[in-house]
Chain A
């Protein structure tokens, strides 16, 4: 056996992956560097010329990338909060308080066998999870995280949202039909019936807001709610807010409207025949959906990125980093070392039992915490969008908590009660809301004239 084969045979699986990956990365990195050196100027010029397209591509990639950690965070939140409501401990083994548990779940799903049962309609069966996941991730693009932080500031953002959100149910129907399983079929049909019924009150409930603001653009709707707390549409359109909340619960297939995957009745609904990562896509899409509908509710009704209270002061720090000149890289290199030593010194002196490396690690952690806080404060003072983003996320995650809370508390509604509720109560109520809003707008404007 030759030397190379012997080495290869003695490598662990992880070592083999590295042995293949490292040369590829090295060559790839060298090539990229060379390309950048040769064509760097031309590439920069092209990017400069096509800025909107580049921005769109970058925004798409970033939105796609943030959906996955969001789903992980939501899954962890749900596991932990429901555990507390059930008087259990919940995940507590992997990571601090089990925080990495959902990522491990994701890895587990990746490693599981991806089985395609015989007699399924293979292309449709394969495509269905992709459609479901794409539909939820495409709606993230129009969510106004902060005034400057919207991937695509569409003029018809709200309409786009409903249209693309409705595509998700096509994926569920595809999964239900192609699985060649009666439970899946029932789940898919239930999903279609539910989505069709609830999209009508969902869309009609925001018409009142469209009448008031005169726009379908989500950033403009958020901007219309700036000012005091009473400018939020939840106070100006309370009936619409209630209808909208119930309808998005049904849209996201959450308890009490989770008939599509009612495990006591139809096992796992449309996902019965799915396994491995294809099931994972459904699972992720569900949680991304929860985040999206919460974000939409907070953007449309809870003032979005507007702060509920205007702080009496806003810190103003103006440090022109450029004025430091050559000192900036020197400071950046030296400051962590000196900071770590300064923070470690009191611990090292405090007790002779503490070893030097322990003191250094503690000092590094303390300095890291302090500098993170300082940088955070600086960023908050310098970047107004950050405060807005934090407010938006606080509102969104409060709503996510409400969804999880409902899941922990409520039983499931029956399918006929669910449909009856949509058609008999929500639809007339949303029509009434439109009528009342239109009448009020007509009276006030004609009175003004």
Chain B
């Protein structure tokens, strides 16, 4: 059927004529908020960014209502990467459940598996050997550095810089290779076990770690020169997407995004787990709460992580790395919540046991999901380019958002 008239750019049924079998009438809004979002004032139009868009960090779709270059309203649409991880975990036994949680946030997968392991250990009431605890702290801090260096490159890439992403990948690649030497996997490590870790530190890991530690701090500092001292970068991020402490706490924001508003909340201090109470480190905070502050807090955390690794390497005791547990994990009926402080915020797992070898219910709290709801409020009124800067500074990973 030939088109009679040239349709308007704002027509939701673009190029689908009314008689066609694909024709769908525009959806009727279900809520007030939806109705408000779907009404276009004069001069406004919708732009659909994603799910295939160069800079939405995975398969996120953002519907933006723009007036010229200004973003009037914004609505993230989730679910393009949904796999049903929680339900999958409920149909697997306790050991198998851990490897389903690995790919949640694929750039920091050790934290994603540390949270369910912590919950299951509480269910089993098992004490983790001290050497295993130190190894967990060591590997998690390494993973935190890898995640933050990647964030640093992503942030610059989303602002249009080509080089920083490749420079920051140098550090990340070295850490990833190191962890691959230890765990046998480059990305989804599946290294933590209920009651310990899978295998002691090996020679290749230790020698690579030693070489890397001797130059890490200087190398990361030199990479930062390209971004931190760049006037264009600072001007684009300072004062952009300001988040105040009250809103952040009300929204359930955690991690560096919360600490950038001045709230020094860090699970490693406030609900200590593993051997963190015995280690010395600062919790970097900033008070501005803008995109630049969120970026700088993460950069400061890299330095603190290097400090922690240094202490761990000096204080690590000898001993077993695995507690004595039956092969089939069958905890007593009960419920437990385990949480760790990850590079993006609090990773939590809530597990209910009914006495069988499978978790009866399992819920995963992911910081990226919480932080993604900030994109709308923080971007409204700014420009299209700022959407990317805000989204990059919140650092969501879609694997964790959609679960």
Contacts and interface: CB of A to CB of B under 8 A. Distances in A.
Contact of A417 (B158, B226, B236): B236
Nearest to B387: A265
Interface in A287-302: none
B15 A264 contact: no
Given A87-B170, A410-B230, A264 B54 contact: yes
Contact of A119 (B7, B69, B161, B386): B7
Interface in B161-189: 161-163, 166-167, 170
A412 B163 contact: no
B160 A412 contact: yes
B162 A407 contact: yes
Contacts of A255: 160, 162
Contact of B53 (A119, A267, A414): A267
A411 B384 contact: no
Interface in B364-391: 383-388
Contacts of A258: 160
Contact of B162 (A259, A267, A408, A415): A408
Most B C-beta atoms less than 10 A away, residue of A190, A410, A415: A410
Interface in A171-195: 180, 182-183, 185-186, 189-190
A410 B230 CA distance: 8
A301 B161 CA distance: 29
Nearest to B47: A182
A347 interface: no
B214 interface: no
A416 to B, nearest CB: 6
A201 B32 CA distance: 49
Interface in B233-277: 233, 235-236
Contact of B384 (A119, A266, A409): A266
A152 interface: no
A263 B386 contact: no
Interface in B204-226: 226
A410 B161 contact: yes
A195 B84 CA distance: 50
A415 B236 CA distance: 10
A183 B47 contact: yes
B386 to A, nearest CB: 7
Nearest to B384: A265
A407 B232 CA distance: 13
A411 B156 contact: yes
Contacts of B159: 264, 411-412
B73 to A, nearest CB: 15
Contacts of B69: 186, 190, 415-416
Contacts of B47: 182-183, 186
B344 to A, nearest CB: 21
A210 B384 CA distance: 40
B7 A256 contact: no
Contact of A411 (B46, B232, B387): B232
A409 to B, nearest CB: 6
B20 to A, nearest CB: 13
Contact of A413 (B53, B232, B387): B232
B4 interface: no
Interface residues of A, number: 35
Contacts of A88: 166
A415 to B, nearest CB: 6
Which DSSP category, helix, strand, loop or mixed, fits chain A's interface? helix
A218 B376 CA distance: 53
Nearest to A417: B235
Interface string B1-19: 0010011010000110000
Contacts of A182: 9, 45-48
Contacts, number: 93
Given A266-B384, A267-B53, A85 B163 contact: yes
Nearest to B7: A119
B385 A414 contact: yes
B81 interface: no
A415 B383 CA distance: 8
Nearest to A259: B385
B175 to A, nearest CB: 17
Given A265-B384, A267-B54, A411 B167 contact: no
B166 A264 contact: no
A82 interface: yes
A118 interface: yes
A91 to B, nearest CB: 16
A220 B294 CA distance: 55
Nearest to B45: A182
Contacts of A86: 162-163, 166-167
Interface in A106-157: 118-119
A413 B383 CA distance: 12
Contact of A264 (B158, B170, B232): B158
A262 interface: yes
A412 B385 contact: yes
A413 B232 CA distance: 6
Nearest to B52: A267
Interface centre among A190, A262, A407, A411 (most CB of B within 10 A): A411
B162 A82 contact: yes
B55 interface: yes
Contacts of B158: 264
B157 interface: yes
A413 to B, nearest CB: 6
A183 B55 CA distance: 14
Contacts of A267: 53-54
Given A118-B15, A408-B163, A412-B232, A264 B383 contact: no
B144 to A, nearest CB: 24
Nearest to B15: A119
Contact of B226 (A263, A409, A416): A409
B160 A256 contact: yes
Interface of B: 3, 6-7, 9, 14-15, 45-48, 53-55, 68-69, 156-163, 166-167, 170, 226, 230, 232-233, 235-236, 383-388
18 contacts: A86-B166, A119-B15, A182-B46, A183-B47, A185-B9, A186-B384, A190-B69, A256-B160, A262-B385, A263-B54, A263-B55, A264-B55, A264-B160, A264-B385, A410-B160, A411-B161, A414-B235, A417-B235
Given A119-B3, A263-B54, A411-B236, 5 more contacts: A82-B163, A186-B384, A267-B54, A410-B230, A410-B232
Minimum-distance CB pairs A-B, first 6: A412-B160, A411-B161, A264-B55, A411-B159, A86-B166, A411-B160
